[in-house]
Amino acid sequence: MARCRLLLFLAALFSIFGLLHASAGDADPIYSACVDQCEKTGCVGDECSQHCNFTSGGIPVDGPWYLQEPLYLRWKQWDCLSDCRYHCMLAREKERKKVGLKPVKYHGKWPFQRVNGIQEPVSVALSALNLAMQFHGWVSFFIFVNYKLPFRPNRKPFYEYTGLWHIYAIFAMNSWFWSVVFHSRDVNLTEKLDYSSAVALLGFSLILAVLRVFNVTDEAARVMVSAPLVAFVTTHILYLNCYQLDYGLNMKVCLGMGILQLILWAVWAGVTRHPSRWKLWVVVIGGALAALLEIYDFPPYRGFVDAHALWHATTIPLTYLWWSFVRDDSEFRTTTLIKKAK
């Protein structure tokens, strides 16, 4: 009997704990009732979901196999429950707006307006632009180092960080690619890929910052510096994917790595005589201000533009200036090494 009471107490405690950590929107009983009703009828007011006529495998509930939902619609993995949540969220937000209430989050996300099945169209477009800017910056750096700067006698670039910047470009483009996919459709797989890619990019950026700021050129020293950071980032990614996707912990880790590398670049820009240090200052200050958008969260304007989307917008010009600094740095180091060789 005592064990039963203990189990009931713990169950009640965990349920209360879950409610305290649930979003305000999905904890709303009116919203919950709407979702339950929609799953039975397939409709919310005049809005009806075609996915409520299909099973999770895309097979019609009442129909032959050849009426399966097309693949170009099934890849987004919208189903009856997700459609019902979306339409009930919009209906509930309209009701709240009429009585002067502010938007709230539903299942951890702000109420966004979908466009052709895309959850956050503005963030998708801006992520794609960031991907394009990273690709443009990498190609321009590749052309500059390989076709405009002199080579060593062994046909290798004078710039000792060429290979590291190529790796950085791959991490950056990979991160923005998965950002596009994740903001198109938020499911467990795309969420983990987006978070993992962002952590990997921040981790490698921190390694690159340490190596460049302290001018570490010896291969053995680079391995010694990089190994602890690689181990930390790998452990964190495995923790997120295999144990628990802890949003709070991940935010702290990402902010910590981001702030640390901004401090390193800022201090280096203050003490170095690099001719393009002003570009570094702009990127550092702009990056710090942009990071505030990730901390200061606000609901999307007209259901499209939120703080995260604005952060994506700010990184576009900063990316262009960043790769411009990298090209200037390669020219500066090459000129310096050639003068020393003479």
pLDDT digits (tens, 9 = 90+) for 40-84: 888 888 778 776 765 545 455 555 544 455 555 555 567 788 888
The H or E element that residue 310 is part of is helix 307-341
Q: Which two tokens stand for residue 123?
A: 């963030």
* Residue at token pair 């189990």: 7
- Average pLDDT estimate for 159-167: 97
Q: Are 109 and 102 in contact (CB under 8 A)?
A: no
pLDDT top residue among 56 and 323 = 323
The pair phi, psi for residue 273, each rounded to 5°, is: -110, 30
Q: pTM for this structure?
A: 0.84
* Residue at token pair 């201000």: 289
- Average pLDDT estimate for 110-127: 90
The answer, yes or no, to whether residue 34 has pLDDT greater than 50, is yes
Give residue 292's pLDDT band: very low, low, confident or very high (50, 70, 90).
confident
Q: Which two tokens stand for residue 115?
A: 């466009």
**CATH 1.20.1070 domain position(s) in the chain:** 118-341
| Predicted pLDDT at 186 | 85
**How crowded is the C-beta side of 318, counted as CA atoms within 13 Å?**
18
Cα–Cα dist 48/70, whole Å: 18
| Predicted pLDDT at 123 | 94
CATH of span 118-341: 1.20.1070
Counting beta carbons within 10 angstroms of the beta carbon of residue 262, is it exposed (0 to 12), middle (13 to 18) or buried (19 or more)? Answer: middle
